[in-house]
Amino acid sequence: MSEAKRNIPPRYRGPFSHIFSGRAHTVVLRSLYALKTSAWYIVLSGFFEPLFYLLAFGLGVGKLIDGVTGPAGQPIAYAAFIAPALLATSAMNGAFYDSTWNVYFKMRFARLYEGMLATSLGPMDVALGEIVYALLRGLVYSTGFLIVMYAMGLVLSPWGFLAVPAALVIAFGFSACGMAVTSYLKNFQEMDWLNFVMLPMFLFSATLYPITVYPPAIQLLVKALPLWHGVELIRHLTIGPPGMAVLGHLAYYAVMIAVGLTFTTRRLTKLFMS
């Protein structure tokens, strides 16, 4: 028996073993190798975008606005109001961009997944590996942003540190759904239509101004948007107080993650294994 065969470890045999080999971590490893070849300043630049928004809106627009309130109706500074929203938005954007444009490119142009799936990896290894890597990145960026929030005095609640795991939950939800959507897309034109969902999502999810601006009917519509749940989740944590509502928002994301993962693996199986 040759050396490699002695070395091939026994494969995972639990549920989903036809699409999952238990080696999602090797897909993460591949991304870390890819990260090694990118320039540090480009990686670092990802951290600044939400910060610029915080400075511009917090300092600039903040001076023009007063009368903003927190989750419990307490008056707060405008910057403290938008900072958690920007954290949620940046978690969403990072995860969604990674799982749509990047995944689409790797799938259709670089043919990267084709190569991975020719090995004993299954589609679920690939999907999970990509998502876990996106979350690792999100962890670094959101930790950085939260540190800035602390430094600027924008974290008003003792539970504020939980904003980082909350941002990861948001990123997980959008990654899972983003990948599912991407696997159905056939060309870049279709990709462009995603912007028609993402821009209004950012602008209307009570990110830059309170939801009370809208008439009640529109408020209901906004409350159906995933980003709104993410923004509110983090606001409860950094501004306070974190009530039962937090559980509701988390449940929303649990559903998003489950639905996204189901469709992603189902679709990847069909695309690459049929």
Smallest gap from Cβ 251 to another protein, in A, equals 27
Task: Please tell me the count of residues contacting another protein according to CB under 8 A.
Answer: 71
The Cα–Cα gap between 226 and 12 comes to: 34
**For the stretch 124-152, what's the b/e string if a residue is b when 16 or more beta carbons lie within 10 angstroms of its beta carbon?**
bbbbbbbbbbbbbbbbebbebbbebbeeb
Closest CA to 98 of 143, 35, 56: 35
Does 122 participate in binding another protein (rule CB under 8 A)? Answer: yes
Smallest gap from Cβ 36 to another protein, in A, equals 8
48 vs 184, beta carbon nearer another protein: 48
71 vs 123, beta carbon nearer another protein: 123
Does 143 participate in binding another protein (rule CB under 8 A)? Answer: no
> Interaction with another protein in 8-27: which residues (CB under 8 A)?
8-9, 11, 17-18, 21, 23, 26-27
Q: How big is the chain by its Cα radius of gyration, in Å?
A: 20
Does 56 participate in binding another protein (rule CB under 8 A)? Answer: yes
Smallest gap from Cβ 63 to another protein, in A, equals 6
187 vs 244, beta carbon nearer another protein: 187
The Cα–Cα gap between 113 and 272 comes to: 8
The Cα–Cα gap between 190 and 176 comes to: 19
Interaction mask 58-97, another protein, x per CB under 8 A: -xxx-xxxxxx-----------------------------
Residue 13, classed as helix, strand or coil, is coil
> Interaction with another protein in 173-192: which residues (CB under 8 A)?
188-189, 192
Return the sign of the alpha-carbon dihedral for residues 174, 197, 207, 64.
positive
Does 41 participate in binding another protein (rule CB under 8 A)? Answer: yes
